[in-house]
Structure 1
């Protein structure tokens, strides 16, 4: 379980971008809606919640029954398969974030924008797909992680399942802060521009998203390897319970056919 917990730290770091770099990125873009109203950059985070509210009932109503018929698993898919799907969606989301930032940097070069408060003529809704995908990924990740740690913990330690889940989120946020600080210091040397400077219009946030894409892809590979080595606790228990149930049914009937 500790190995599975370790490979969930990078996805927690990706999740932390929703309230940090995604918002800062959005403040540089065109947020006008109509002639007099500007969309707050942080408000796009509401689409994460909205996509989760839509995805959860669809997952329970359609996805689970469909996969249950295919696999015979009461859950539809295993706990680790659920996490794996969420991690794949996260990789796709950060790849889209990278592509959008490459597009934003292209617009900046075309219009020769360098000022920190200059607005890039690119609509903020370009960021919407990455928010929506991270919300969908969280349907698989957050619920799947909580269920996994609770279900797979020893019987007398199941309360630690919630602790594993929340501690992973907390450490992921600390890891995000550490990465941002270290990348900023290492890239801001000599004549090189910082990847994450105060002025995102004169930085290389696309490089940082590319870096996150690489480490999240490598982490996905590590998760697949760890999942292949993992043995579910419940499988053994269900087998034992099945054997006990069969034995008890056999004892209910005597050799003469009389009820005991």
Structure 2
């Protein structure tokens, strides 16, 4: 950590800081207030009548102009210029916003369903430090006659999985898929995240199958109250750790790239932070699920799925529950991904028009 701190301060002068462009939360609030104030105003069919600066630069410092989109038309009321706005003279941003400012909010709203889908994935990811460890504590940790590996240390296989999958994805998988799809990145970012969600389902299935096999040995050898390790190697957990690592490469990295790419220019820091909040909320959801499952399954004197003695419980049912939740989450993700509209920048549209004109010429 000391070396890391030295490198951090050594590199600080080399970093290019972008000047703050004002609070994005303030701009969001302005669009909402202006929309509510003009809830009776009719949005014109001709979008060129909506308020936007006539020069090339956007009114938002550090942001390019954004093209108008047809989703969430109620918010367009915020950039309809009324007679009152014209007579006042100075533009009040709490009454009249630019198209770019409205499109900023639309971009955030479009990202929220995808953000919510990442919470379930983070819940699966959180099992590595919770249920996987509890499961591993009952398995044989011996490597040879004298060495034992702690159950919590098995998460190293998640790290190794990431180390293997990142170069495999960049050097082998992307060039291969690029030949098929013709896209520079191979997969779209939405496809990449979807693949990770599918892999997370198989990670829970692998954990559930291992738990079924573990309980079978306990039942066969009558080891319900045994305090010793059952005759099953802890390394049978490696596949589920490896699958979680693979899912992490596809979903977590893809999500961070997607949120940064689709965020408005002046909101990239906020959207990057927003994508990372799925991890914390996933951990909270994991704790909530354990509490709910314990309260429901342990009624009327029953031990429940997750008792103190896992040999008398059904941890496999909890893994099946997470697998089902992940599957439903993936189905909802497919619907959201199909509905999603990528942001359009004014500069990009001008470049496209120039390219089309050049090709026609």
- TM-score where L is the length of structure 1: 0.91
1:14-51 CA distances to partner (integer Å, 9 max, x unpaired)? 00000111011101011111111111111110010111
The Cα shift of 1:6 comes to 0.9
Asked if 1:60 corresponds to 2:170, the answer is yes
- CA distance in 2 between partners of 1:234 and 1:127 (Å): 45
- Equivalent position of 2:329 in the other structure: 219
RMSD: 1.9
Asked if 1:188 corresponds to 2:298, the answer is yes
- CA distance in 2 between partners of 1:107 and 1:191 (Å): 25
Asked if 1:202 corresponds to 2:324, the answer is no
Larger Rg: 2
Aligned residues: 250
Asked if 1:12 corresponds to 2:122, the answer is yes
- Equivalent position of 2:255 in the other structure: 145
- Equivalent position of 1:96 in the other structure: 206
- Equivalent position of 2:272 in the other structure: 162
1:45-69 CA distances to partner (integer Å, 9 max, x unpaired)? 0010111111101111111111111
- CA distance in 2 between partners of 1:82 and 1:236 (Å): 27
Extract unaligned runs of 5+ from structure 2: 1-110
- The answer to whether the 8 Å contact 1:116/1:200 transfers is no
The Cα shift of 1:237 comes to 6.1
The Cα shift of 1:118 comes to 3.0
CA distance 1:29–1:158, change in 2 (3 Å) = same
CA distance 1:31–1:223, change in 2 (3 Å) = same
- Equivalent position of 1:77 in the other structure: 187
User: Which SS does the other structure have where 1:145 is aligned?
Assistant: helix
- The answer to whether the 8 Å contact 1:152/1:234 transfers is no
- CA distance in 1 between partners of 2:347 and 2:219 (Å): 61
- CA distance in 2 between partners of 1:91 and 1:236 (Å): 40
- CA distance in 2 between partners of 1:236 and 1:64 (Å): 29
- Equivalent position of 1:39 in the other structure: 149
- CA distance in 2 between partners of 1:127 and 1:228 (Å): 35
- Equivalent position of 1:3 in the other structure: 113
Asked if 1:23 corresponds to 2:133, the answer is yes
The Cα shift of 1:86 comes to 0.5
Higher RCO (CA-CA < 8 Å; seq separation 6+): 1
Extract unaligned runs of 5+ from structure 1: 254-260
CA distance 1:106–1:195, change in 2 (3 Å) = same
1:123-172 CA distances to partner (integer Å, 9 max, x unpaired)? 11111100001111111011101001111111110111221121111100
2:245 to 119, 135, 140: 135
1:225-249 CA distances to partner (integer Å, 9 max, x unpaired)? 11110111158864442224566x7
